[in-house]
Structure 1
Amino acid sequence: MDDLLARAEPALAGYLTGKLRLDAPPGDEVMDCRDLFTTSGFDSTIARLAARYPDTDRRAVVSLWSLYYFSTLTIAPVVLWRRLGLVLPLALEETSLVATPESGMAKAFVLAGTGNIVPGLPITAALAPMIEGHLRPAIDFLSGHCRLSPRLLWCNAAGYLNWIVRELDPGNDEAEGLALFAKTLPDGSDNPLHGLIKPLPNADGNAVLTQRKVCCLRYMVPGVGGCGEACPLPLGRQ
């Protein structure tokens, strides 16, 4: 996958190197994603990160974990769709998590295959396996098991998706990838990504920053800090 990313977007290739793989790195911890989002699978994974912050609200720790998970999962597939028309197998049952041993945080994902080139496929269709087959069940589990708002978790994913879509088409408010945030999905149901990221106009009225609709709580984790102006809460901007 790294050679495809280097060809698709050289400026981001270094940042994305190793995030998507076809085989597990020797000696690394790997877990099937469908097993991860079970009570035993998730509790054993998050326990390592929670041990670092014993006096912190567990919801904030889980949210922080999800930020790493979602960024590792979502950014590279958008690049490969936008630049190469590549559609990847990203459903839970098609992916495995490579976790950092010390923290349990996402390091990479092992995919079941290389995917297929489908020129001209809309982003909503190209990323449906990831959004409906991976993000939705993962968020449903985390929300119920960890008592986190689904909107907070969808917002964690939306922040990275919004950033990369705009990064690939800078200054284009009609960028094709922004269809990902339409009010409804192609089947007419409500889109959980809609309205979670809003532009912040500057003094000239131009949108130069974006702000989350729901705080991710990361400011509650000692030593991590908030999101600056992207946070909707004053405490998170410190």
Structure 2
Amino acid sequence: MAPDGHDRTPQAGRPPGLSAAFAGPHAWCNEKMVLSEDLSDGMPLPEFFGSAAFDLAISTYAETSGGTDRRAVASMWSLYYFSYLTIPYVVARVLENQVLPVDFEEMTVALSADGLPRGFGVATSGDRPIDSGEEIFALLAPLMEAHLSKVVAHLKSSGGISPKLSWNNAAVYIDHALRTAGAAPLADQADSMIALRLMPDGTPNPFFDCLRYEEEEDGARVCRRKICCLRYLLPGVPSCGSLCALPSQRKQ
């Protein structure tokens, strides 16, 4: 029995974590995405973004980080949000063919004392489609359509950052997860995600050209963002190095 009175003993037939993929190098995902019933301080996402809670989270992070540029604060906040959301989703999808239920309307979020996202709650452990050989946009459709598009809109209206910046922030983590999640990196899928101007249904691809892989003078292949995440405007936050879109910030 946990201190909060809830029984944390695994139920019969229920895995100790949300996904068997959350093991080894991905064990940290067990702390970032759990069943909503196990996230005791979680708040439904529609309520969080639709009330003063989101603005308070941004203000709290601004105060604790010393950031004075609201766009930079909101962008940095979104980096935590997108990493904790997208990496577990991609890892489970790639390694276990498990589609976690990431519908915005049905998830909860919990925050740390500094206002940053701490973890997400989902209603169930999801399902496994019969066909696991999907192209990249079919693989990402539940994440893009039912969640990211809605959060991007809130980040624009309440956080003051452009949709292009938000999609770029999300693309960094999805690209990373696709290339590193499994024994056989899905580099071709990651390349398609950022190379195609249109998605298969003919609609604009929000990830198009968000990242570029370039070769340095020493022959090293590096990934670069198209749009800077603005972290350089926050005191004490390290540069993202070669990933940065701004040449002046890459060696900081």
Structure ID, larger Rg: 2
User: Displacement of 1:14 after TM fit?
Assistant: 2.6
User: Displacement of 1:53 after TM fit?
Assistant: 4.1
The answer to whether the 8 Å contact 1:24/1:98 transfers is no
Distance in 1 separating the partners of 2:148 and 2:242: 26
Q: 2:244 aligns with which of 209, 231, 237?
A: 231
User: Aligned pair 1:104/2:115, yes or no?
Assistant: yes
Paired residues, what number? Answer: 234
| Mapping for residues 149-164 of structure 1, pairs under 5 Å | 149-164=162-177
User: Displacement of 1:235 after TM fit?
Assistant: 4.1
| Normalised TM-score (structure 1) | 0.87
The answer to whether the 8 Å contact 2:44/2:109 transfers is yes
Change (3 A) 1:2 1:60: farther
Q: Deviations over 1:55-86 (max 9, x none)?
A: 52111111110000000000011111111111
**Further displaced range: 106-115 or 195-204:** 195-204
**Further displaced range: 198-207 or 45-54:** 198-207
User: Displacement of 1:41 after TM fit?
Assistant: 2.8
| Mapping for residues 1-238 of structure 1, pairs under 5 Å | 3=17, 5=19, 7-8=20-21, 10-25=23-38, 29-38=41-50, 40-54=52-66, 56-100=68-112, 102-118=113-129, 119-120=131-132, 121-168=134-181, 175-181=188-194, 182-203=196-217, 207=221, 209-237=222-250, 238=252
Structure 2 unpaired stretches of 5+? 1-14
Q: Percent identity?
A: 34
Distance in 2 separating the partners of 1:83 and 1:89: 16
User: Displacement of 1:221 after TM fit?
Assistant: 0.7
Q: Deviations over 1:90-109 (max 9, x none)?
A: 12112110211x11211111
Change (3 A) 1:201 1:169: farther
RMSD across aligned positions (CA): 2.4
Distance in 1 separating the partners of 2:173 and 2:17: 22
Distance in 1 separating the partners of 2:170 and 2:187: 21
Structure 1 unpaired stretches of 5+? none
